[in-house]
Chain A
């Protein structure tokens, strides 16, 4: 296969098709619409299901129904649309069935704007729908990574009977880069022992539900889900390291913020300062152990995000107050330039930092000065 110049949204859509996506349900929203546009043509062409639902609420419930049959199913949206889907996502999680959601995040809260943002980290990783559940969350920073993670997401969803989110941002969705798409996988419909796909009078009836009226039964279901999650935590931590071997200062950033930070880290290295970058690729499960180890030898951390400091909380959790954790964020649909992160790195590496409980206080003062 050769590389082609391809847009992130189109790349994720085609990667899903080649990974065996059999049913897609969605509703258009910028900056994610090209996914829908590509699949509107591609899915019927292959005799697979494409439905433009009447709303995001309808789309996620269609996903729920289709997922119960055991086929590979996906929906995609952007921040406000994903908010609408939260109830359905909780039901899917509670039913313990595989499904894939791509969120191409945009500026918020509210209707916000259509520019790139990362402000749905908490929603995806720590919250969202009601009840105790943990989706696997993957954050691509390039078109190639978006392709690879989309393919992986279907495998992981099925392996763990779990929700998998691709948490991209408008920049990854709209950017074109040379990338290689995978070969088309033959469509193999697996006969899962949990799928409700018609017993045909040949086997016992199966029931998929998120209703456990009897609290002890719900408690057992929660224990089972927690066990799955703990297995996922053991197996599915993913991250990329840049210049960390001898790093005295560590930048942590995911997705677009992570790759922009890479430019600033390189500029610091060029000046002989030992700065490295940790780019978590899986946000859930999070690379706590890696940060724990880095905190034992680094002088300070800088967390860079396109929000007001969300992943920051997880970095602090791993650092446990041993060294200063500083924050630089651009919320509301703004994308940082490398020069701005470079300025932060110069400040951090040349001043005596204090360990504070909330680095957002000083950050806001700097941003609004």
Chain B
């Protein structure tokens, strides 16, 4: 088993942390995992992306040209990575930050208004967790429960007061994706 997940967006959207949470969950499940950022010269801002590889044997490449799973949090990364997705892959796109629908009919696209959902829960900074929750609905390698446990296990104690809102964000994203894929399953994607 091997699964590669690409996460991309603007710096500050929690792209790198979203990848790390997935990596922690995979590690706690006893999997092999790599997390690698595409690091730039900027201190802040700009674009950010990272790749997480989860496997049950020694991982070769930490990078992948055609990811089977992706979370894309803004329009530039949606435009850049949608064409590169592996056929049959799962793409979670942040509908709050893009002004177009999917161009690919051969992948599953989950559109989540992650900014709005995060604000409803009470903090824009939860955008990444809403998107991660949405991906988990289509990621058999990591369950929602395993991810919640990873957050609790690896978030420093002083941040534990933030756990309930993070759990809520994951849950909302997860449910949104289930609804969408449920509809898709009955009618064909789009």
Q: Which residues of A contact B (CB under 8 A)?
A: 3, 5, 30-31, 114, 170-171, 174-178, 256, 259-266, 335, 337-340
Contact = CB atoms under 8 A, between A and B. Distances in A.
Contacts of A171: 36, 62
B34 A335 contact: no
Nearest to B27: A178
A264 B65 CA distance: 13
A260 B60 contact: yes
A263 B66 CA distance: 14
Nearest to A277: B60
A263 B60 contact: yes
A259 B53 CA distance: 13
Interface string B42-84: 0000000000000000111111111000000000000000000
Given A5-B24, A339-B65, A262 B34 contact: no
Interface of B: 20, 23-24, 27, 32-37, 39-41, 58-66, 154
Contacts of B40: 114
Contacts of A174: 36-37, 39
Given A178-B27, A260-B63, A262-B58, A30 B35 contact: no
A259 B35 contact: no
Contacts of B24: 5
Given A3-B27, A5-B27, A260-B63, A178 B33 contact: yes
B165 to A, nearest CB: 23
Nearest to A335: B63
A239 B91 CA distance: 39
B61 A5 contact: no
Contact of A176 (B32, B34, B66): B34
B36 A175 contact: yes
Given A30-B41, A114-B39, A114-B41, A177 B33 contact: yes
B34 A175 contact: yes
A114 B63 CA distance: 17
A340 B33 CA distance: 22
B162 to A, nearest CB: 19
Contacts of A259: 59-62
A176 B39 contact: no
A340 B60 CA distance: 14
Nearest to A4: B27
